[in-house]
Copies of this chain bind each other. A is one copy, B any other.
Amino acid sequence: MASLQEICERVLALISPTKEEVERVGRIAEALKAKASEEAMRLGLEADAQVYGSFAKDTWLRGEADIDLFLRIPAHVKREEMTEKSLKIGKAVVEALGGRWIKRFAEHPYVEGWVEGVRVNIVPCFRVDRGCWLSAADRSPFHTEYVRARLKEGAKSQVRLLKRFMKGIGVYGADIKTGGFSGYLCELLILRYGGFKEVLEAASSWRGGFMIDLEGYYRGREGDAVRIFPEPLIVVDPVDEERNVASAVSLHRLGEFIAASRLFLDRPSMRFFYPPPRMPLPPDNFSRALSKRGTCWVLILFAQIEAVPDVLWGQAYSSLKAISQFLRNQGFNVLREAAWSDEERLSAFLIELDRRKLPDVKLHLGPPVTSKESNAFLGKYLKNENTVSGPWISGNRWVVLLKRRQTDAVDLLKEGLKKKGSIGIRSRIAEAMDRYLEILVDEEILDAYSRSEGLKTFLTDFLSGRPPWLEEG
């Protein structure tokens, strides 16, 4: 077994930017800045063009450099003018350097471009004092300055190791789909604990309600922070005491990071940084594995979801949760569920039940005998063709044994999906389902298995149910 030290050295050799890369990206960044200032002047916009983000902080991973070019604009400029002119500047800048671009949407639109293979984001923000935020992007310059002023030269590679580790175990990214750790959060963790190994050691003993507060804003009133921030991990933003840098981190991603940290410290391995790619099973093997599993799989296939990724995944997760809850309310035992989308053509929800059919009868709990409602209950069930037995009194309540109207999960789901909104399916998902919807159960899923490599991998992953870093390498 290689030591932790050896593993980290091997990883660093793979992720530290090369001298050539640093020079090349630096050259592009300088050219972008110059061109942006020139364009701003031409448009009569007082804009200070600066590069922030991981390139500016020197914490990016080899081959993954993004240049975040911010146009800092005076607070008195109208939002409309800012948006319009900064889009013009972005387009002109990228085109001038021979790149291509598209318009992206966050709080306001911005330009994402590719110049000589490097991704560049050209984002407007207001030049404000700390705390007087006018848009979400206004904090970025402060974040970069905070980290740049404190992160020592040697600590930069520690940030890189932590980022690669988080990517390897699938918890890197504050986007809705991932629900994980941002790059800035990685940097703050290294600032707090000093190094990669130390972060993992600390995480191994994190408990609920854990807080990191580098600037001590909540010193002596830690309980306030726990009340203000509902999220499982609290890292108070050093530049904004009202913001939790870890607000995107979901409970299970936090758990995965903690668990992987412990396992890695116990038995260091390259697979935490570079998990072996999951190979989709050949259809025959998949079919055999599914049929001997003994559970019931329901695959809901539907059209592409027309939305930017954060909206797409936000609506997908909450709609999937609503469908599971709908099935649970009917009495089904949902073991697990997952959403998948190639973000282009096809989307899917997969739900695993312990079995497809409910029992023919159910115990229906009535009102307390002492309540006004008990007369209506008796009136309803004494002469009812669905009454199998009773009513009788159990404890202080009436109960009755009833025949179920519907016992098949798929039939129930088909009914439920006719009234999407009322069971909690969100607008974009409902639209996608209106365009195309197919429900497949168990062996029927094989028909869809080979329609997409992504779907194959998703279904193979679900079969294992195990994070890749748990598989023995």
Contact = CB atoms under 8 A, between A and B. Distances in A.
Interface of A: 205-208, 232, 251-252, 254-256, 258-259, 262-263, 266, 293-295, 333, 335-336, 354-355, 359-363, 368-370, 374-375, 378, 382, 388-398, 401, 403, 462-467, 470, 472
- Give the interface centre of A256, A293, A354, A472 by most chain B CB atoms within 10 Å: A354
A294 B382 contact: no
A289 to B, nearest CB: 10
Contacts of A382: 470, 472
Name A's interface SS.
Answer: mixed
A359 B396 contact: no
A466 B392 contact: yes
Given A252-B393, A335-B401, A396-B254, A361 B354 contact: yes
Contacts of A375: 262, 266
Given A208-B396, A259-B374, A403 B466 contact: no
A393 B259 contact: yes
Q: Which of A255, A361, A374, A388 has the most CB of B within 10 A?
A: A255
Given A295-B361, A360-B294, A361-B293, A255 B369 contact: yes
Contacts of A465: 389-392, 401
B232 A369 contact: no
B295 A369 contact: no
Contacts of A359: 294-295, 333, 354-355
A316 to B, nearest CB: 18
A-B pairs with the 10 shortest C-beta distances?
Answer: A294-B360, A389-B465, A354-B359, A390-B465, A255-B369, A255-B393, A259-B369, A355-B359, A252-B393, A255-B396
Contacts of A335: 361, 363, 401
Nearest to A393: B255
Given A208-B370, A259-B369, A370-B258, A392 B361 contact: no
